[in-house]
């Protein structure tokens, strides 16, 4: 589920699938506060 969310966010933010090759920990470290807010919004919306 979370990986699928990461892929969506990466596609929207960067228009690239490159970030999906990172591990969850590496991906989280690259997120900014705004991106975390977007991720939280997606999780809340889907849930």
| Predicted local distance difference test score (pLDDT) of residue 9 | 61
CA distance 31 to 47: 21
Joined tokens for residue 15? 């228009």
CA distance 47 to 38: 14
| Predicted local distance difference test score (pLDDT) of residue 19 | 45
Q: Return the domain boundaries, the chain.
A: 2-12+22-46
| % residues pLDDT > 70 (the chain) | 0
What is the rounded average pLDDT of the residues 9-35? 56
| Predicted local distance difference test score (pLDDT) of residue 17 | 45
More confident residue, 15 or 10: 10
pTM of this structure: 0.21
């Amino acid at each position: 589920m979370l990986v699928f969310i990461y892929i969506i966010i990466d596609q929207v933010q960067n228009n690239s699938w490159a970030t999906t090759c990172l591990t969850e920990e590496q991906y989280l470290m690259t997120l900014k506060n705004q991106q975390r807010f977007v991720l939280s919004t997606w999780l809340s919306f889907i849930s």
